[in-house]
Structure 1
Amino acid sequence: MERNWDDLRLFLAVAREQSLSAAGKLLRLDPATLGRRMARLEKSLQTGLFVKSPQGYALTDAGVQLLARAEAAEQAMRIASAGVAAPSDRLSGQIRLGAPDGCANFLLPQVCARIVTDNPDLDIQIVALPRVFNLSRREADMAIGVSAPTAGRLLVQKVTDYHLHLAASESYLAAHSAIASVDDLAAHRLVGYIPDMIFDRELDYLAELGVSRVPLASNSVSVQVQMIRQGGGVGVVHDFCLPAAPGIRLILEDAVSLTRSFYLIRHMDDQRNLRLTRFAEMLSAGLRAEVGRAEAKT
């Protein structure tokens, strides 16, 4: 059984990544070795599982059938490993969490540090990327998003609201004309997202202000905050970023005040996994508390 599950585990990675090299990186296994393991699995099953091409590994009909069975086995293993531990028991093992980089940089370090302090045998991996995570391919055990997905077999829970305002550095404001209204922004340099790399409409803040040109742009919240800190211009910032960004001042607070939300997203198959459910509860409570604490300082 152990050997069979190990073969399925490797097969899942190749099927999801559609590449020996990408799956090898994920598994920390040499691609050539992984290729031999897949060939051995196909031989043992007496059927081809992949169509190999320069573009990667695509599943055959037999591969699609095995994928469904392998994912069912994976879920059974997750449930078994979760066990029936009492809620007071500490968490252990590894949990990978995907999050947009603003949340990952300014909130999750504090939240996750507290969780692992209380659960010293737990390993938390934060994958900070400005995009949507594919939980069906198991890129992460769960993810935080800025909108609630409506497709896929997902569990979606609203965690908390957060707030954003226009801001600029003290040095920029001292060197440029006063900003008394939204119309005054036309005379100022704007900092924001790269327009064609906005992966969620909830992040298109400047469009709401009628801004069409962004002279200083990045797909990263952290980079935008640093641009503003360095006197690059005026931009929309998360209020929870400000305690970590001295020298930035909010402007036009009454005229421009945005509210967005964080959602915790999990795969539907994990709803009976007690371990992941307990971690989700800790994470949600920690995020709510950290957003409240950080915003109270602004």
Structure 2
Amino acid sequence: MDWDDLKLFLAVARAESLSGAGKALRVDPATVGRRIARLEEGLGARLFSKSPQGYALTEEGARILAHAERAELAVTGATEELRGHAQGLTGQIRIGAPDGCANYLLPQVLARICDANPGLEVQIVALPRVFNLSKREADMAIAVSRPSTGRLTVQKLTDYSLSLAAARDYLAAHPPITRPEDLRDHRIIGYIADMIFDKELDYLGQLGLDQVPLASNSVSVQLNWLRHGAGVGVVHDFARPSAPELARILPAMRLTRSFWLIRHADDGRVARLNRFADELATGLRKEVARLEAAA
């Protein structure tokens, strides 16, 4: 069994389809299918079971998976040594992050890391959901709560704060807000309740605000509603410098949350990813502190 066969096997196992694996490897799906069939024939075992839902690992395939992932790490480590990654970060790294972090923190933090490492390519995947690192949807992910299951390493990045806010023009045109009960007289902006993918994002529930006439699963959409005077909502303090139209209200109702860096456990042996994680953590902490001080 050679590395090319294992690479195809890993791609199908993670994508659970020939088309997904082909797209990831830039190989025609029919070619992927033929080579998987050839691999199964050579091993004398079925590695995948096919169904309308896609390709699922068989028991034999699951046993090979860990070996294939170790081979992937070995190849990655050897490639890094040959390319001299000790002199700088190179190659492609994909990081998944929630909407607020991806929009208001990561662009400037990662731009500075890339400026210092010209050979580095970074992809930010901003999706309102939890990332599956076992399927290699990303090399690492930032989350708002610490996972309790899976073969993962977890590192706390930083705490951050959120505040109730509204546009100054909105506040001037509506009844004053001096106590929590006053919020009942205002239109609330927040998340779509059944699309909150992490309990830590249920800000309004914690504040006792159940009616949300204007809702979106996107932090950016919520922020733009607030900027245009549509109502009152919760805003990341690190995002407020980008929206000078907003004023903080009821400061005693300030919330605190945390960002966590999540990685696949096996990646702890990849020096390049370790260095990137260290630089990311340092940069993110500094940026949150800088923006919250300016808010």
Matches within 5 A, 1:1-298: 4-83=2-81, 89-253=87-251, 255-298=252-295
CA 224–86 in structure 1, closer or farther in 2 if over 3 Å, else same = same
Supply the AA of the counterpart residue of 2:92: Q
Q: Distance in 1 between matches of 2:203 and 2:165?
A: 13
Are the counterparts in 2 of residues 84 and 274 from structure 1 also a CA contact under 8 Å? no
Q: Could you state the TM-score of these two structures normalised by the residue count of structure 1?
A: 0.94
Cα displacement (A) at 1:87: 8.8
Cα displacement (A) at 1:103: 0.4
Are the counterparts in 2 of residues 52 and 58 from structure 1 also a CA contact under 8 Å? yes
> Structure 1 stretch 153-162 or stretch 31-40: which is displaced more?
31-40
Supply the AA of the counterpart residue of 1:120: P
Q: Distance in 1 between matches of 2:22 and 2:227?
A: 40
Supply the AA of the counterpart residue of 1:44: G
Are the counterparts in 2 of residues 166 and 256 from structure 1 also a CA contact under 8 Å? yes
Q: Distance in 1 between matches of 2:26 and 2:84?
A: 33
Are the counterparts in 1 of residues 85 and 272 from structure 2 also a CA contact under 8 Å? no
Secondary structure of 1:124's aligned partner: strand
Supply the AA of the counterpart residue of 2:291: A
CA 231–97 in structure 1, closer or farther in 2 if over 3 Å, else same = same
Cα displacement (A) at 1:9: 1.1
Q: Could you state the TM-score of these two structures normalised by the residue count of structure 2?
A: 0.95
Secondary structure of 1:150's aligned partner: coil
Supply the AA of the counterpart residue of 2:30: A
Residue deviations 1:226-268 (CA, integer Å, cap 9, x gap): 1111212111000000111231111111x21111111111111
Q: In percent, how many aligned pairs have the same letter?
A: 64
Cα displacement (A) at 1:270: 1.4
Cα displacement (A) at 1:86: 8.5
Are the counterparts in 2 of residues 92 and 121 from structure 1 also a CA contact under 8 Å? yes
Q: Kindly report structure 1 stretches of 4+ aligned residues shifted beyond 6 Å.
A: 84-88
CA 173–30 in structure 1, closer or farther in 2 if over 3 Å, else same = farther
Are the counterparts in 2 of residues 83 and 274 from structure 1 also a CA contact under 8 Å? no
Provide the aligned length of Structure 1 versus Structure 2.
295
Structure 1: tracts of 5 or more residues without a match: none
Q: Distance in 2 between matches of 1:154 and 1:186?
A: 43
> Structure 1 stretch 49-58 or stretch 110-119: which is displaced more?
49-58
Residue deviations 1:153-212 (CA, integer Å, cap 9, x gap): 211111111110001112221221111111111111111111111111111100111111
Supply the AA of the counterpart residue of 1:196: D
Q: Distance in 2 between matches of 1:139 and 1:22?
A: 11
Structure 2: tracts of 5 or more residues without a match: none
Q: Distance in 2 between matches of 1:78 and 1:49?
A: 24
Cα displacement (A) at 1:37: 2.2
> Structure 1 stretch 198-207 or stretch 70-79: which is displaced more?
70-79
Secondary structure of 2:87's aligned partner: coil
Q: Distance in 2 between matches of 1:193 and 1:118?
A: 37
